[in-house]
Amino acid sequence: MKKLVLAATIVLLAGCASPKQEQINFAPQAATSAAKIVEGKTMSLSSQDVRTAQYVALMDNGRANITPIHTRQNVRIGIENALVQQFSSQGYKVTVNSPNTVKVEIQEALVSVKHTVMENDMAANVVVELTVENSKGKLVKTYTGKATRSGLMSASNDDIETVLNDTVNLVLKEISNDAELVDYMKERF
């Protein structure tokens, strides 16, 4: 029994001594509408993160050392909250029990970083799928945001954070400005 307690203590202390993983802030900004498109229409919104890994960046320093970077905030909740704010600004009332549903699926949110002491290259890719559905029909659309950035010196967490947030914001803006989606929801909800 003493050996078991000693082993558990060693494992716990080793876990405390290990370095913390890198983390960045994830703060997507909703593309709000200046004027309401609809009045009094309800919808329910749900989201799902189907990415294979939960990190949002991979840093490759070229020496067989690839470091994953996570966000401090939950990516799914951040995008869902931004979309709730976005649809609310268009006049939709987001409720729990509505026959009109919008399902958000986050398929990819990743910044690939290759850097050395002298330069860095970043490539961001964000893929979000929206499924708008009710008894009158179903519309499935995929939105993709891509961005690249190069700079001098090695990439900082702030640089990675900016590229990720800017790319997600582009996708949110694309969703907001999608005439087919807006018309579909306006007509069928």
* Domain spans of the chain, in order of start: 2-188
Average pLDDT of every residue of the chain: 88
CATH of domain 2-188: 3.40.50
Helix (H) or strand (E) run with residue 120 in it: strand 119-134
pLDDT tens for each residue of 87-96: 999 999 999 9
Give the whole-angstrom CA distance, residue 79 versus residue 152: 31
Contact 120/57 with Cβ under 8 angstroms? no
Q: Pseudo-torsion of CA 156, 160, 165, 168, nearest 10°?
A: 180
For 59, the token pair is 């840093």
pTM of the model: 0.84
- Per-residue pLDDT, 20: 56
Give per-residue pLDDT as tens, 126-179.
999 999 999 999 999 999 999 999 888 888 889 999 999 999 999 999 999 999
* Cα angle 161, 115, 110; round to 5: 40
**pLDDT top residue among 164 and 40:** 164
Q: Which residue has 């559905």 as its token pair? A: 133
What pLDDT does residue 19 have?
47
Identify the pLDDT of residue 152.
Answer: 86
